Amino acid sequence: MSTIKKPDDPESDPRVKAVFDEIRALRGTDYINNLWVYLAFDPPLLEEIWQGVRDVMAKETLIDFKTKEMIYVAVSIANSCKYCIHSHTAAAKARGMTDEEHAELLRIVTTAGRTNHLLNGLNIPVDDVFDTDT
């Protein structure tokens, strides 16, 4: 079930094929996950989303790959995005996240979720010492 129709032969479009080829090369696998297959229904959107994700998540940057995936999972949990939670938890594991680290990630995320609700409920003034813009 989806709000769009899964394209029958996505790689017949050269822009789609170029993205899929890049995904395969970067990941060292032939498998293209559903996000990219479905997104091929609109090649420019596919390119745009893929390039955005690739540049921060699939390239060497300041933060290591495992940590980046764990941060991605944290946001996806808070936003209740089922597909993203599954795909990026799998990616974090592929990058080395152990079960113990997964449990700790959930401990941080749930503690933050709890105090986020508390502070929104209290609405207390932010301390001046936390203000960077001075």
Per-position x/- string for 43-82, each x denoting binding to a copy of itself as judged by CB under 8 A, each - no binding: -xx--xx--xx--xx---xxx---xx-xxxxxxxxxxxxx
φ, ψ for residue 28, nearest 5 deg? 65, 35
Rounded CA separation 97/75 (Å): 17
Cβ closest to a copy of itself, residue 21 vs residue 81 = 81
Close Cβ partners of 9 (under 8 Å, ≥ 6 residues apart)? none
If binding is defined by CB under 8 A, does position 87 make contact with a copy of itself? yes
Candidate list 18, 22, 41, 95; residue touching a copy of itself; CB under 8 A: 41
Q: How far is the CB of 16 from a copy of itself (least distance, A)?
A: 13
Residues from 106 through 125 that contact a copy of itself (CB under 8 A)? 106-125
